[in-house]
């Protein structure tokens, strides 16, 4: 009998302890934050804002570094190309009046046309002492697109000097040296394996290179020249 009474007493004591413990935890949970705790919470919020600002600044600086690195790599590429190419006597007089866009040591200009052939585009560049223009890197591409948008309404399709080997699928500059940069138009499955001539298109939302027709069939409403 005593043993049973002891067990009941123990059980009641345990239930009472659990109830008191839960009441204390509930009081602590519902307890208003002290001034120190509120200050710590505000400090955490400030730190979160500071971290977001720092991350945003890092993203901007990284973009600047990428653009500068891209330009320096292109300058190095140009220096190495020039140093390994035999000097050629200059026989063409370049018309500096058409240097509408400068990038490093190159001049670029854009000519609009209703519909010109590849041969007409090539001759138009040669008439000012230049050749069909290349696009050397992302920073250069952005400058070209910005320049052309100021001078022509989009959509526009124009000739450039770059080509693709339809067997190896390697892209080359106008002088047949390997292209350091290629940006294909995102819609259309480019590059295609049938045609070697590259053109460039600028639409309101997208831009890029494409190769959808042969030289003798191509018609464009502009040409990018370089000298």
Question: Would residue 78 count as lying in a domain?
Answer: yes
Regarding whether 156 and 65 lie in a shared domain, the answer is: no
Question: Would residue 174 count as lying in a domain?
Answer: yes
Q: Quick check: 140 pLDDT over 90?
A: yes
Measured between alpha carbons, how far is 62 from 183 in angstroms, rounded to an integer? 21
Give the mean pLDDT of the chain. Answer: 78
Question: Would residue 28 count as lying in a domain?
Answer: no
Question: Would residue 5 count as lying in a domain?
Answer: no
Regarding whether 204 and 110 lie in a shared domain, the answer is: yes
Contacts of 200 (CB under 8 A, 6+ apart): 135, 157, 158, 159, 160, 207, 208, 209, 210, 224
Measured between alpha carbons, how far is 182 from 220 in angstroms, rounded to an integer? 20
Question: Would residue 54 count as lying in a domain?
Answer: yes
Domain of residue 74: give its range: 41-88
Is residue 162 classed exposed, middle or buried when 0-12, 13-18 and 19+ CB atoms within 10 A define those classes? buried
Regarding whether 122 and 104 lie in a shared domain, the answer is: yes
Question: Would residue 6 count as lying in a domain?
Answer: no
Contacts of 91 (CB under 8 A, 6+ apart): none
> Per the structure, how many domains does the chain have?
2
pTM: 0.62
Regarding whether 194 and 84 lie in a shared domain, the answer is: no
Question: Would residue 31 count as lying in a domain?
Answer: no
Measured between alpha carbons, how far is 190 from 171 in angstroms, rounded to an integer? 12
Question: Would residue 27 count as lying in a domain?
Answer: no
Contact call for residues 162 and 134 (beta carbons, < 8 A): yes
pLDDT in tens, 74-117: 556 555 544 443 333 334 456 678 899 999 889 999 999 989 99
Q: What is the per-residue pLDDT for 122?
A: 97
Regarding whether 211 and 134 lie in a shared domain, the answer is: yes
Measured between alpha carbons, how far is 184 from 200 in angstroms, rounded to an integer? 9
CATH code of 107's domain: 3.10.100.10
What distances in angstroms separate CA 124 from CA 22, 127, 166, 223, one per listed residue? 88, 5, 27, 8
Regarding whether 119 and 75 lie in a shared domain, the answer is: no
Q: What is the per-residue pLDDT for 79?
A: 54
Regarding whether 149 and 70 lie in a shared domain, the answer is: no
Regarding whether 174 and 72 lie in a shared domain, the answer is: no
Q: Quick check: 42 pLDDT over 70?
A: no
What distances in angstroms separate CA 49 from CA 37, 39, 56, 59, 62, one per listed residue? 19, 15, 11, 15, 20
Q: Please spell the DSSP secondary structure of 59-98, one letter per residue.
A: HHHHHHHHHHHHHHHHHHHHHHHHHTSPP----S---GGG
User: Given pLDDT bands bounded at 50, 70 and 90, which one contains residue 36?
Assistant: low
Q: Within a 10 A sphere around the Cβ of 192, how many other Cβ atoms?
A: 15
Dihedral-angle region of residue 185 (phi above 0 means left; psi in -120 to 50 means alpha; beta otherwise): beta
């Amino acid at each position: 009998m005593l043993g049973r009474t002891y067990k009941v007493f123990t059980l009641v004591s345990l239930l009472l302890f659990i109830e008191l413990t839960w009441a204390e935890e509930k009081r602590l949970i519902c307890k208003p934050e002290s001034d120190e705790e509120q200050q710590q919470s505000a400090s955490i919020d400030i730190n979160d804002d500071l971290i977001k600002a720092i991350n945003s600044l890092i993203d901007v600086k990284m973009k600047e570094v990428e653009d500068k690195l891209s330009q320096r790599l292109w300058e190095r590429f140009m220096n190495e190309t020039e140093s390994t190419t035999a000097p050629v006597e200059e026989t063409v007089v370049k018309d500096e009046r058409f240097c509408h866009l400068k990038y490093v040591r190159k001049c670029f200009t854009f000519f609009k046309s209703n519909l010109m052939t590849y041969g007409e585009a090539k001759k138009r560049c040669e008439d000012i002492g230049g050749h069909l223009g290349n696009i050397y890197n992302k920073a250069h591409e952005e400058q070209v697109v910005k320049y052309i948008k100021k001078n022509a309404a989009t959509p526009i399709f124009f000739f450039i000097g770059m080509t693709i080997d339809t067997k190896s699928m390697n892209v080359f500059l106008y002088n047949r040296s390997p292209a350091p940069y290629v940006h294909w138009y995102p819609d259309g499955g480019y590059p295609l394996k049938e045609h070697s001539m590259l053109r460039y298109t600028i639409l309101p939302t997208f831009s890029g290179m494409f190769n959808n027709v042969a030289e003798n069939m191509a018609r464009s409403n502009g040409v990018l020249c370089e000298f």
